[in-house]
Each structure stands twice: as structure tokens, then as C-alpha cells.
Amino acid sequence: MAEKETEISDLGEFGLIDRLTKDFPISNPETKLGVGDDAAILTFGEKDVVVSTDLLLEGIHFDLRYVPLQHLGYKAAIVNFSDIYAMNARPRQITVSLGVSSRFTVEHIETLYAGIRRACEIYSVDMVGGDTSASVTGLVISITCIGDVNKGEEVRRSGAKPTDVICVSGDLGAAFMGLQLLERENSVAAGQKDFQPNFAGKEYILERQLKPEARKDIIELLHKEGIKPTSMIDVSDGLSSELLHICKASNVGCRVYEDKLPIDYQTALMAEEFNMNLVTAAMNGGEDYELLFTVPLTDHEKIEKLQGVKMIGYVTKPELGAALVTRDGAEIPIKAQGWNAFNKV
């Protein structure tokens, strides 16, 4: 801790909240009253309101040894925006609750907030409330995101129909490989003073892990092209897990083709370097924050023209189950092996 940093106890809870929130801009007319009362007041007219929440815990969801606080704040906001886009809705407001242990200074928390603020600016989301408290243990970040959607325009997980085409935005597995890289460099660095990790040529997978984006652009693109998905979910726990969520909610099965999975070359190189199975990384890695959605077969041609969206398979009747079709035509049942915070270590 540098000499001139400010201890949180010097400001107190209200002083800290005032300092953190004092010049957050309000960019949505839907935000009638922001921070500073018992509750925020929002005004959505006739639109429906969507709400999603995420809890991030130190030691479970992030490791401060290699995640800069500003990136952590940015990502904490983004993962919530992603849930709102996955409803075909638009994020408008967030509340941010923090539990902070005494090893953090006011400046640390300001850095974390700077990341949250940056995400709010880029995605035009207002910070409207929260709760800041001491924590006797690690850092706790709880964000709730509120959005809006025109009545009848929401897209749930439950609308997929047999013969629908399964689509995914961007590419998969990169965030997972980025995490492997960070963990390796961190363990190599352990105990070595002035160790400089070599990240050249690996910027993309690192950025995917440390500073992911939510696919606002895809939602806008689909809207512009007049495509309304029949079902949608964001890829947070891994493609396998999300496919199973859609299959369960829609009561359908699916076939996804190994050779259609979108994978960036940095992801592939890294998997080779680590001697890891690339398909497993793409299917189960998670933290991609891409959109997985289904469209009617009749939208096939429209989707084909879209930049950044790939068709990876199709929806089947439920009795066929969910399977990955390998390059040699074998069908492997899809099981959720995504990240699970309750797995025994």
C-alpha cells in the first residue's frame, strides 16, 4: 500500500459511496432517480422490464493475482449486460454492491469502479444504486442489471423448435485458453522477482479473458435484419451447458457439428501448446459471452450473410437428445462440463 493512499475507514461507508458515485453520468431518460435514496426510481412506460443478477466472489470467480481491478470491474458489469442482451432486451441500469476487506484502499475501489463506469459509458447503462460494506474475507461484487424490451419482443430459452438452425456469435474457447495462459504465467512467476510474462501474439485470448464484451452489436444486427431468434442464451458456462439449457427449456434435442465450431487461431495455437483438446475448450471453456440462438430454417439465407454469426447445427425432436457430430460423423452426447463453482476441488 503506497503511503498516500486513503484508508476506507477514513471516509466511512457514506463518504465512500459519495466519492465513488459522485460523477456517474445518467444517460437514459428511463432513469428518473439514481443513487442517493432508499431506492432508485425508473420509468419504462409500456415496456417490459427485465432483471438479472450476478455474484462474483474472490477466490471463486476471479484471482486478484492476475486480474487488474479495473478489468474486473469492467467484466463484472459486462457479464450482467450479456444476460440482458440474451433476452433480446437492452440494459439500462445497474446496482453495484461491494464487500471490501481492509486490505483495499479507497484508491483500489476507485479503480474497480472506473472499470464499471467505463462499461456503463460504452453500453449507455446508468449506475443507480448499491451497497458498500466491509468484508472480513475476500472481495465480493454483486451486480443487478435492469433492462427493457418492447412487449412481445423478448427471446426466452424456451422457444426453439425442431429444424431451427442453431447459431453462435463470435468464437469460442478463447477466454478459457486466456485463463490457462494467465495461470501458467502466474505459477512460473511465483517467487521470481521482476518476472516479465511473455504475452506477445496472445493478446486476443488474454483480452477475451480479462476484458470481454457483451454482444450488443449482434442484437442490433439481428434487429436491423429483421431476424427474431426463437430462443437465445449467452455463453457464460460453456457452449455444452448452454445448449442443454435451451434443449431442456424448449423440450428439444440438437445436433452441433465439430467442424462448424468457430475457433480463433490463437485459441487453437494455445491449445496445441498446452496439449489440450481444442473441441473441449470450445464446448466447455465458458466465459465467452457470445450469444447462442436458434432461428427458423427460413431465416437460413439471412443468417448466412451476417458477419460474425455462424450456423453450427440444428434443433431436433427431444427424443434424439443433444449430440456433437464429430468430423468423422460420430455422435457424442453433449454433457455439461462447464464451469461449476460447486465442483469438489
13, amino acid identity? E
Q: Which is nearer to its own copies, 6 or 274 (CB)?
A: 6
| Smallest distance, its own copies to C-beta of residue 25, A | 19
Q: Which is nearer to its own copies, 153 or 272 (CB)?
A: 153
| Smallest distance, its own copies to C-beta of residue 128, A | 7
| Smallest distance, its own copies to C-beta of residue 229, A | 12
Task: Please write down the long-range contacts of 101-105, taking CB distance under 8 Å and 24 or more positions apart.
Answer: 101/134, 101/135, 101/136, 101/137, 101/138, 101/139, 102/7, 102/8, 102/9, 102/134, 103/1, 104/8, 104/139, 105/1, 105/5, 105/6, 105/7, 105/8
Q: Which is nearer to its own copies, 28 or 267 (CB)?
A: 28
SS3 168: strand
Q: Which is nearer to its own copies, 13 or 304 (CB)?
A: 13
Q: Give me the phi and psi of 195, to 5 degrees please.
A: -70, 130
Cα 40 vs. chain centroid, distance in angstroms? Answer: 25
98 - beta bridge partners?
Answer: 132, 141
| Smallest distance, its own copies to C-beta of residue 135, A | 5
How far is Cα 322 from Cα 334, in angstroms, rounded to an integer?
Answer: 6
Q: Which is nearer to its own copies, 143 or 271 (CB)?
A: 143
| Smallest distance, its own copies to C-beta of residue 194, A | 30
Q: Give me the phi and psi of 78, to 5 degrees please.
A: -60, -40
Q: Which is nearer to its own copies, 38 or 194 (CB)?
A: 38
CA nearest neighbour of 261 among 323, 169, 175: 169
CA nearest neighbour of 94 among 66, 109, 72, 113: 113
| Smallest distance, its own copies to C-beta of residue 83, A | 4
In angstroms, the Cα distances linking 55 to 60, 79, 80, 139, 214 are: 10, 10, 10, 11, 17
Q: Which is nearer to its own copies, 65 or 300 (CB)?
A: 65
Q: Which is nearer to its own copies, 33 or 311 (CB)?
A: 33
Task: Please write down the long-range contacts of 188-193, taking CB distance under 8 Å and 24 or more positions apart.
Answer: none
| Smallest distance, its own copies to C-beta of residue 17, A | 10
Cβ distance 145 to 81 under 8 Å? yes
Cβ distance 262 to 310 under 8 Å? yes
| Smallest distance, its own copies to C-beta of residue 270, A | 27
